Chains A and B, each alone.
Chain A
Amino acid sequence: MASMVLLLSIERIQQATEQGFNQSISGVDAIVGPRSSSLEVVLYTVFHLGRPTNNITMQTVDDIRTRDDIDWLVPIALGDSHKGFRVIATEPNYFKHVKYAGDKPLLMSNGRAFKEISEAVVGADVAKKLDYKVGSDIYITHGSSDAIGKKHDDFSFKVSGILNKTGTPIDQAVFVDLKGYELIHIGWQSGKKIFGLDRLDVSSIPKEDLTPKTVTAAFVGLKSQLTLFSFARELRQYHKEAISAVIPGVALSELWSIVGMVDKGFELLSWIIITISLISMITLIISSIENRKREMTIYRANGATPLYLASLVVFEAILIALSAIIGAVIFVTIITHLASSQLNIALGITPEFQWVSLEEIKVFAIILIAGVLSSLIPAAIVFKKSLHQGLS
C-alpha cells in the first residue's frame, strides 16, 4: 500500500501542480520583459516567485503598444509587498484582459476594479487572511518583505474591490494603479526614502507626470495568434533595449520537461517498490500456507476441491490488493489535501484533485492483475498439496 501511496501521491501532486500552473494564466499570448530566461520571467510575473533582475522602459512598452499586431497590452511593475503579499502595479484593464483556468475572467466578489490612483484591488486570500473589506486602508511596504522593507506610510490605498477566488497566485496579490505606485516612490532613491510625500501637494501633481519610467514586464494579447512567433522574433531584434517576448505555454513546457525527469525517476522507484511488495505478498502467502494447513484440511474433509482451495488463495490475493488500493486512495486523498494547502502557501496555486482519475484506474488494474498473477504461484502449491495430502 505504501508503494501505491508513493506512486499515486507523486502522480497526483505533479499533475495537479502542472494543472495549477497552466491554469494560472490565460488569455495572455506573450509576456514582454527584459532579456532573461523565459522560465524566470514567467515565474516572477505570473507566479510571483523570485525577483525581477531588470526592468524595461515605459518607452519600449509604448513602442510595442503601437504595433499593428497588438490587440492589448498591460504593463506590470513588481517589487513591493503588503504584509507578505506581492503588490502588482498595473492598469485597470488588467482585470479585463488577464484570465485564468482556460477562459475565466477575473471577477470581483465585492466592489470594483481601481479607478483612482489611491485605490487597490486585493485577491481573495489576501482579503480573507487580513480580513479586508471594500473601503479598508492599506499601506504598502517597499521591497518584497515587511522584515527588510520600509513602509510607504505617507500614502494609503483604499480597497475598491475584492477578487473572486481563482486558485491561482492572483488570490495572494494586491493590485494597485501604476500611477499610484509611481506616486509612492516619489522621494525614494536606490531603495531609500529621501523625503516623504507630506512635503508635497499630491493633488497638484499632474497624472501624466506619474507615468512610471520603467516597469517589470508587460502582458500582451495579439490580434492573431499566427503572428506570435514573428512577434517574439522581432522583439528579440528590438534595438533600443534588450527585451524578449516569452510565450507562457512554451516556458511552462520547459519547466515540466525539467520536473518530468525527476518525476519519472520517482515513478520508476515506485514501480520497483510495488514489484518488491508483490514479491513480499507471494512470500507471505506461501509461508502462511503451512500455518493454514489445518484450515485447508478441514475444507478438504468437507468436500472442497483442490481448485476451490487454490481459488481461495487467489481470492485472498485479490482482497489484499483491493484493500491496498482502497487504503492507498484514502491515504493519497489525505496527502493531496495536505499538499493542496502547502502548494497554495508555496506557489499560490490551489490545485483541484480528482477523486480517482482514469490514469489511476489503469494503475490499479495493473496492480490487481499483477497481484492475481503473483498469487497463482501459491495457488498452484495449494492445489498440488491438496491432491496428494491426506486428511490427517
Chain B
Amino acid sequence: MILKTSNLKYKYQNGKTINFPDVGLNPGDKVLINGVSGSGKTTFLNLIAGAIKIQDGDIELASSQYSLMSSSDLDKIRANHIGYVFQTLNLIPFLSVLENIALGVKFSKTRSANIDSIDQEAVRLVESLGLDKSILNNSVNNLSIGQQQRVAVARALLGKPNLILADEPTSALDVDSKNRFLKELVQTFDPSSQAILMVSHDLSLAPYFDTVIDFGKANV
C-alpha cells in the first residue's frame, strides 16, 4: 500500500474541527476527493504532503508513519515520495520549463536515482503529456494555462514518486483542456508504482477515477 490515513482529525484556529474519512491507496489507484469549499479537501492534501503537522490520527506513506516523524523527516518524505500539482501558478517564472520540471528531483536523491537523465525523462514526459519538446528551453511566461498545468504534471511525475497529489488542477481550464489534461495524466502516470489523489469540487471529473470520496458527506 502506498498511502493509508487513519482517524485523521484537524482542528482549525477558529475552533472548527474536521474528521477525515480513512483513505487507502495502492499502486495504480486514482482517487478523486470531492467536496464544497471549506470541506477540508486542501487541508487533507497538506496533511498528506506533510506540510502541516497532524494533530490527531495518523498517516502512513511508503511504510513511514507521520506521527513518529519530525518536520524535516516529513520534508524528505515529500521530496522522495510525493509529486504535487497546484490549482494554478505552478511554475517559477524566472526558471525555464526544463528547470521547473527538474525541481521535481532537486531535493530527492531517491527520485534522482529513478531516472538516468533529467533531460531525457523531461522530454519523454512532456511529449506523453502532448507538449512539444522544443518548449523545454522556453520561458514559462510564454505558456498557456493548460500548458503550464501539463508542465506541472511533468514535474510531479519526474523521478516516479509514489503519490501524485493534485489540488484542483483543472479549475482554471476550459472543458476541452480539462478532459485532455486528465486523459494525458492518467495515461502518463505509472500504475505499477504510482497512485493519484486529486481534490476537486467538479464531479464531472469522476469518470477518470476509480474511487470518488465526497468530503461534503463524510465530514462531521
Contacts and interface: CB of A to CB of B under 8 A. Distances in A.
Do the two chains bind?
yes
Interface of A: 294-295, 297-306, 308, 387-392
B155 A302 contact: yes
B79 A298 contact: no
A291 to B, nearest CB: 11
B122 interface: no
A389 B52 CA distance: 7
Contact of B108 (A298, A300, A303, A388): A303
Interface string B50-76: 011000000000000000000110011
A301 B86 contact: yes
Contacts of B155: 302
A298 B90 contact: yes
A302 B42 contact: no
B98 to A, nearest CB: 15
B92 interface: yes
Q: Which of A294, A297, A300, A301 has the most CB of B within 10 A?
A: A301
A306 B71 CA distance: 9
A302 B75 contact: no
A312 to B, nearest CB: 12
Contacts of B167: 391-392
12 contacts: A295-B92, A300-B78, A301-B78, A301-B86, A302-B103, A302-B106, A303-B106, A305-B72, A388-B52, A389-B51, A391-B49, A391-B167
Contacts of A305: 72, 75, 107
Contacts of A298: 86, 90-92, 103
Contacts of B96: none
B45 A302 contact: no
B165 to A, nearest CB: 9
Pick the 8 closest A-B CB pairs, nearest first.
A303-B79, A303-B107, A390-B46, A301-B84, A391-B51, A305-B75, A390-B51, A302-B103
B86 A391 contact: yes
Given A303-B80, A303-B106, A305-B107, 5 more contacts: A295-B92, A302-B84, A302-B107, A303-B82, A390-B52
A280 to B, nearest CB: 22
Contacts of B79: 302-304
B104 interface: yes
Contacts of B46: 390-392
Contacts of A308: 107
A324 B82 CA distance: 40
Nearest to A308: B107
B199 to A, nearest CB: 11
B42 A392 contact: yes
B43 interface: yes
Interface in B10-58: 42-43, 45-46, 49, 51-52
B10 to A, nearest CB: 11
